[in-house]
Homo-oligomer: A and B are copies of this chain.
């Protein structure tokens, strides 16, 4: 029985949890802070994986798998890294009934153990670049957790590359940020802002971090992917060296980049409405649901015959689900598949059979406005067109929403107001003291210094000092 979803305007956070649980994307696990990804949520994640993996392979990367357990001593080799991750570690102290000599850390991220392997695999400039990605689970001991957004264990991919020069590493770092932005925009229909993280927000051990930032439905920001130029920090800590063309030993330059199951949370929050999920067609596990409608046995026979034609027309080109269960009414099914975010519904009743047509109902346009009748004859084309329209409309809608809630305050008073309403795009002098003050007084943080800059200089929105860049500030997940 479908329960009620809390309206977004009433309690956004409960709306989010309601949608995820009732659409059966995920559930709470018995261990605090952990989550179970249910089949529907996992099918969505599989589509996210496929979209990313295809792009990684097209840019020359290979997948590999590194161990879950990392010796504690490894984590301690890079000073900033251990500082950043120490409070979040899960530690195995016993194995096979005995206490271990050295405790093992359950990987929170794999720079250290991968660095160790690279130091053995890389000898010469001929071995470079090394372009490896891994799909894995990682564990970070979080105190405040939320389904998909912040869980103790989560699934992600982490790319780890090694290069001969700084320039190549930097090029790779930005290439992967582009890959993430391309995926977010074109597959997830989520507009993102590419930019550099501030010094205080960068990855523990990175030289420079970059991120894509998206605006959720409650106007808060979500970091949706990160790409780090690690400089030679990990190469020095793990002795990753190569002989260059002059036969001299050099440290490598490394990068790392990751996208996680957070992306699923972003999809829920960017597109969802009070009826539930709204999934972008490119990623939806079910793109089209067909619901037959009948009263008499005679109608049933005719309608189900038409459903077979729909199947034959669509089976090869779209992910189609036919819901011909008899224990539920058509209205119940409409609600159910709306809740689960299926982009397009096909309704087929006795009158449609007579007229050799079906009704299409778009999930992104509830009610009459999203309904149209199309002839059975050209159905495959009409459905593909509708899915494209929906995909584009979701992106457009999210972009308009974000832009409508992005402000350019020039003084601190309006800045403080702006971050309660959405993103503030403001001049910042770069001083940590100003950043700290913002954080303390407004609960918003520096999301990124966007690549897109107005040019010239301005006055820092906090201290009024000279500022060379604008930054995006927002309250964030």
Cross-interface CB contact of A35 among B67, B90, B91, cutoff 8 Å: B67
What separation, in Å, do the CA atoms of A159 and B157 have in the docked complex?
23
Task: For A65, list chain B residues within 8 Å (CB).
Answer: 36-37, 42, 45, 155
Copies of this chain, complex-wide, total: 2
User: A90 contacts B94, CB within 8 Å?
Assistant: yes
1/0 per position for A87-126, CB-CB distance to B under 8 A? Answer: 1111111111100000110100000010011001100001
Task: For A113, list chain B residues within 8 Å (CB).
Answer: 29-30
- What is the minimal beta-carbon distance from A44 to any residue of chain B, in angstroms? 11
Considering the complex, give the chain B residue whose CB is closest to the CB of A103.
B94
User: A66 contacts B36, CB within 8 Å?
Assistant: yes
Considering the complex, give the chain B residue whose CB is closest to the CB of A45.
B65
Task: For A64, list chain B residues within 8 Å (CB).
Answer: 36-39, 41-42
Cross-interface CB contact of A141 among B43, B62, B96, B155, cutoff 8 Å: B96
Cross-interface CB contact of A63 among B39, B74, B327, cutoff 8 Å: B39
- Asked whether A95 and B87 contact (CB < 8 A) given A62-B39, A64-B37, A65-B36, the answer is no
What separation, in Å, do the CA atoms of A38 and B92 have in the docked complex?
25
The number of chain A residues with a CB under 8 A from chain B is: 57
Task: Judge whether A334 is part of the interface by a CB distance below 8 angstroms.
Answer: no
Task: For A89, list chain B residues within 8 Å (CB).
Answer: 94-97
Considering the complex, give the chain B residue whose CB is closest to the CB of A63.
B42
Task: For A63, list chain B residues within 8 Å (CB).
Answer: 39, 42-43, 46
Task: Judge whether A411 is part of the interface by a CB distance below 8 angstroms.
Answer: no
Cross-interface CB contact of A42 among B31, B35, B62, cutoff 8 Å: B62
Considering the complex, give the chain B residue whose CB is closest to the CB of A62.
B39
Task: Judge whether A70 is part of the interface by a CB distance below 8 angstroms.
Answer: yes
Considering the complex, give the chain B residue whose CB is closest to the CB of A65.
B37
What separation, in Å, do the CA atoms of A435 and B271 have in the docked complex?
62
User: B92 contacts A106, CB within 8 Å?
Assistant: yes
Q: Can you show 9 pairs from A to B with CB atoms below 8 A apart?
A: A29-B117, A30-B116, A34-B68, A35-B67, A39-B62, A39-B63, A42-B64, A92-B93, A97-B141
